[in-house]
Structure 1
């Protein structure tokens, strides 16, 4: 029985969504094709009608997730700087530490992206550079935008590596305070 094009697109989207959640929660390489398909109620054989390989799925996840991060974190109008500061506070929160599947893909998938083939890394670079460019426009500083982006991702990775919530909060608070200091210095210049 042949399925409609709409059904195939819906299944592909369900697979992308489910696989992205799984990857951000447990890592992409930890689950095989059969496990990814089982999560959406299909057999592993059906996978190849949606993606040519597991690497192709990972590439689609990277594009989707980083595109969503760009949407959430980039500037959008006159109140860009205040909005950016609010986003940074939410980014550096315990909710983001405790719920990796609902947050930014960079802290959860960054190491796997770094080990991926050049096409995945180039794709990630496009999205990361778009985010950095958006922040650079808001902050009027390319280097400050890179520094804050790196600080945020690194702080979240470090906080998630730690076992004690109080220490995790200290990492997040320290990072947020340092970013606020950098923004205040930049604003005063």
Structure 2
């Protein structure tokens, strides 16, 4: 039996998560099979079950990982005084639109997550709530409840606009969706 270096298991798990995350966001969860993920990760199918119980277990792990990374960016922005406007403009940029595989898992996967088991939806809900709280903390004026309401509205606007901008075939319309959503999200964030 071959022995692996210390940390090999963690490195392999990270590799599977990264490949699955990109493939899920690019093609959708339902369209991606375990064999394709493992092949792209340079691993055998049998190695999958050393790290995950099922595809659903992998989906949950990918969501938590991707949303924790997004949450960390929000924390870093808050700590470093990065304006919420910068976050909104970056989120609703053509670059983000054009790179779904490395972009927001919410915009890429929300419609599919709605059809997954409660445990997966609960994992998604918890992380999304954390991100909303961080957005609300960046908003000026108003009570905590008012800032949360505005964060919910702004986030929903951002996610929906990103999804629409990716779905339309007309590049000019796509740009228009993004530009108008930036203004709408900023208005919501400012409470004006």
Question: Could you say which residue in structure 2 is the equivalent of 1:45?
Answer: 46
Change (3 A) 1:79 1:8: closer
Give the TM-score normalised by the residue count of structure 2: 0.90
Shift of 1:146: 0.4
How do 1:112-123 residues align onto structure 2 when only pairs under 5 Å count?
A: 112-123=112-123
Question: Could you say which residue in structure 1 is the equivalent of 2:18?
Answer: 17
Residues 20-46 of structure 1, C-alpha deviation per residue, up to 9 Å, x if partnerless? 011111112212111111111122121
Question: Could you say which residue in structure 2 is the equivalent of 1:77?
Answer: 79
Cα RMSD, aligned residues only: 1.6
Alignment pair present for 1:164 and 2:170: yes
Equivalent residues, number? 184
CA contact (8 A) 1:73 1:131 kept: yes
CA contact (8 A) 2:153 2:188 kept: no
Residues 70-90 of structure 1, C-alpha deviation per residue, up to 9 Å, x if partnerless? 11234523735x2x1101001
Structure 1: gaps (5+ residues):
none
SS at match of 1:153: helix
User: Higher mean Cα deviation, 65-74 or 121-130?
Assistant: 65-74
Shift of 1:138: 2.1
